[in-house]
Amino acid sequence: MNDKAPVYQAANGKPNLLSGMQPSAGSLHLGNYLGALVNWTKMQDDFNAYYCVVDLHAITVPQDPAELRANTRRTAAQYLAAGIDENKSALFIQSHVPAHAQLAWVLNTITGMGEAGRMTQFKDKSQKNGVDSASVGLFTYPILQAADILLYQPKAVPVGEDQRQHLELTRDLANRFNSRFGNTFVIPEAHIVKETAKIYDLQVPEAKMSKSAADPKGLINLMDADNVITKKVKSAVTDAEGSIRFDRENKPGVSNLLGIYSLISGMSIAQLEDNFAGAGYGALKGELAEALVAHIAPIRNRAEELLSDPAELDRLLAKGAAQANELAEQTLATVYDRVGFVKAQ
Ligand code: ATP
Ligand code: LTN
């Protein structure tokens, strides 16, 4: 049953890439930006990139419909403002491509209950209100994610470290489908840039910066106003020692600030330690706040500008959806044929 023909080759010879984020808040934060989005923008030239806003995933936990709609457009606007170029990459909303839900169904049928039950993100997220009140959608979330990925035959999937397990499941499902039904899917690889900092919460620097943080002062948002950014940086938790040096274990707060500063400025940590030798935390926070405002303000302003013309934004998203649909439908048609569905006339 296994045919040996190459599974997929894009016409321009470049490998494909897919990634996405949930529209689960009104703004992306510095962790999403420095940990993922910056990397996405850098990969656009070497890959045929597909970037989606995963609204189907967002509803695995309850969402207010009006907020979800607004946050979906806001997330797309931030992708563009941060440098995703609609002429290089396909930028689209997941629910605009029906094949995601359709392939997810087929993949559901080749996933074991035990296999799905081992996913740690489900365990974490369902613990909040108890497993019994978690939705079945939250349980099958990683299978929908596998469908997102496999439809686009990507070689690379740029994500943060926390997504490694979902990528492993995706590879397992792709291999299983290929060996049961014949070569259909490219086996994707997680593209996790090691040195891409994990960004920590400014108030609880042992925890990762997250949309679901308890204290909003702990996260810097791309859509925050200048004075809000400055205030949050200045109230970041540090320590009593007083010297500016990188020591993740004993000085998590100061180390996080240095890590952020390094990523924003392009200066190495050693260089920063040198520059700030003998200076106090106030100086570090002051300079970092200034650098962050200078970096984030243009992104925020551009996103606001894009949001002020929703018709144009929707037109860009429709163009991206058309590109995405073309490839997704092709992959889905092969899958439907391989599993034995009668072709619709
Ligand atoms: P939530 O808090 O709702 O789980 P989140 O803020 O962690 O959300 P996601 O939408 O789950 O964000 O993640 C989008 C992308 O951003 C993923 O690739 C993830 O690995 C990355 N990411 C999220 N938080 C951080 C962080 N603190 N540092 C680096 N990368 C991050
Ligand atoms: N679970 C991912 C979001 C996501 C995703 C994807 C990432 C959904 N589908 C496909 C990469 C590829 C997260 O970042 N929390």
CB 176 within 8 A of CB 215: no
Q: Which residues line ligand 2 (CB under 6 A)?
A: 18-22, 54, 57, 145, 148-149, 157, 159, 163
Chain centre to alpha carbon of residue 313: 20
Residue nearest (by alpha carbon) to ligand 2 atom 15: 21
Specify the pLDDT at position 7: 87
In testing the pocket of ligand 1, which one of 32, 74, 148 has its CB within 8 Å of the most ligand atoms? Answer: 32
What's the pLDDT band for 193 if we cut at 50, 70, 90?
Answer: confident
pLDDT digits (tens, 9 = 90+) for 159-181: 988 899 999 999 999 999 999 99
Q: Catalytic residues, which ones?
A: 125, 208, 211
CB 307 within 8 A of CB 77: yes
What's the pLDDT band for 282 if we cut at 50, 70, 90?
Answer: very high
Alpha helix positions (H), the chain: 30-32, 38-42, 55-58, 65-81, 99-108, 113-117, 120-127, 136-150, 164-181, 226-234, 252-265, 269-275, 281-307, 310-339
Residue 128 has pLDDT above 60, yes or no: yes
Specify the pLDDT at position 3: 54
Q: What's the whole-number mean pLDDT along residues 87-108?
A: 98
Specify the pLDDT at position 262: 95
Identity of the amino acid at 151 = L
Of 197, 213, 194, which Cα lies nearest the Cα of 257?
197
Q: What is the pTM of this model?
A: 0.95
Judged by its nearest atom, the ligand closest to the C-alpha of residue 198 is 1
Residue for token digits 């090691």?
194
Alpha-carbon distances of 201 from 69, 86, 143, 181, 214, rounded to whole Å: 27, 32, 29, 46, 10
Residue nearest (by alpha carbon) to ligand 2 atom 2: 21
> Under DSSP, is residue 8 helix (H, G, I), strand (E, B) or coil?
coil
Judged by its nearest atom, the ligand closest to the C-alpha of residue 145 is 2
Tell me if 245 CB under 6 Å of ligand 1: no
Backbone angles phi, psi at 116, to 5 degrees: -65, -35
